[in-house]
Amino acid sequence: MAGGQERLLRRRINSVQSTKKITRAMELIAATRVAKAQQRAQEARPYAEQITGVIQDLAEGGAEVSHPLLKKVEDPQKVAFVVITSDRGLAGAYNSSVIRAAEREIMALRSEGKDYSLVIIGKKAETYFRFRNYKIDAVYHKMSDTPRFEDARTVANKVADMFIEGDVDQVELVYTRFLSMASQQVTVRRFLPLQTRERDETSEALAGFELEPSPEAVLTALLPRYVEARLFAALLDAAASEHANRQRAMKAATDNAEELIIKLSRAMNRARQDAITTEIMEIVGGAEALRADKGDESDLLLDHLFPAELFPDHHPQHFAR
């Protein structure tokens, strides 16, 4: 029985060791990808923030533009949520955190008797919301891992058309903002219409520049770029966050596999010791039985372990003398 347990434990150890190799490889791959994704996110963020600031300054500076992307509804009755998750799992709580945040927003909206719209990026969010019979207006795959600007433009055009045509009164982004390798934050941010800031001296000074052909024309030309840049920055943040979460999850899995291997090895060693002890006891019992049958007072076990021709000084007869 002990030998069978030892074989079972050995098979489990081999299985865990194989899993450990896989999780270690995935950890190294994620570490390589997160460095590149972090660099891309950091490079794209200043542009998105600057174009947002310029548009806000122009809008606050008195540019008279009745652009559809600036249309505000005092009491929005339908809100669209752009939910950014991944196509793959094994990333810890990355996907579930974003999904829970989006679901909370939807439930709060429905409790007020208002409607919602879902634009989903990533298979994980699609699977979750489709299984629970949420209304999904658009789904996009294969762009969460390594986003391209063309991907952001495709989604931005869809969302902008929904807002311009009046299908929704407001658009919210739900994604994970990348702060550092150790910190990522689930964020729900207004996407459309543009949120204006409180007027201050800086915005008034920036809005005082003379622009050609006119502030209205510049604002009209920048608004579509703003939508694309903001969404692209969110996609890059989400991609970096995904890889960072996957690296941590795979490192934790690798560490857990190592601990499990240690525990199983100890259990296997105990099983092996039990098997050896059982065999020794059986030999001793058999030897005692043979000696009792022969009426021999010599110790058959010691005779077997210490043959007289090999260990003359240690043979029991030597001690008897």
For residue 235, the model assigns a pLDDT of 93
For residue 242, the model assigns a pLDDT of 92
User: How much is the mean pLDDT over the chain?
Assistant: 82
Span 106-122, pLDDT tens digits: 999 999 999 999 999 99
* Torsion (CA) 88, 45, 43, 161 in degrees, nearest 10: 70
For residue 201, the model assigns a pLDDT of 45
pTM: 0.76
DSSP letter, residue 98: H
As a whole number, mean pLDDT of residues 92-97 equals: 92
Three-state SS at 111: helix
Where helices occur in the chain by DSSP H, the ranges are: 2-60, 94-111, 123-131, 149-164, 201-207, 215-294, 300-305, 316-320
Three-state SS at 91: coil
Euclidean distance between CA atoms 109 and 116, whole angstroms: 7
Q: Where do the domains of the chain lie? A: 31-245
Residue 130 has pLDDT above 50, yes or no: yes
Q: In what order do the strands lie in the sheet with 115-121?
A: 138-140, 115-121, 78-84, 170-180, 183-192
As a whole number, mean pLDDT of residues 149-154 equals: 92
Q: Are 42 and 131 in contact (CB under 8 A)?
A: no
As a whole number, mean pLDDT of residues 17-28 equals: 92
User: Which residue is it, tokens 């752009």?
Assistant: 82
Euclidean distance between CA atoms 165 and 152, whole angstroms: 20
Tell me which of 3.40.1380.10, 3.40.50.880, 1.20.1630.10, 3.40.50.150 is the CATH number of domain 31-245. 3.40.1380.10
* Torsion (CA) 250, 252, 256, 262 in degrees, nearest 10: 100
Euclidean distance between CA atoms 19 and 28, whole angstroms: 14
For residue 89, the model assigns a pLDDT of 87
Residue 14 has pLDDT above 80, yes or no: yes
Residue 319 has pLDDT above 80, yes or no: no
For residue 321, the model assigns a pLDDT of 47
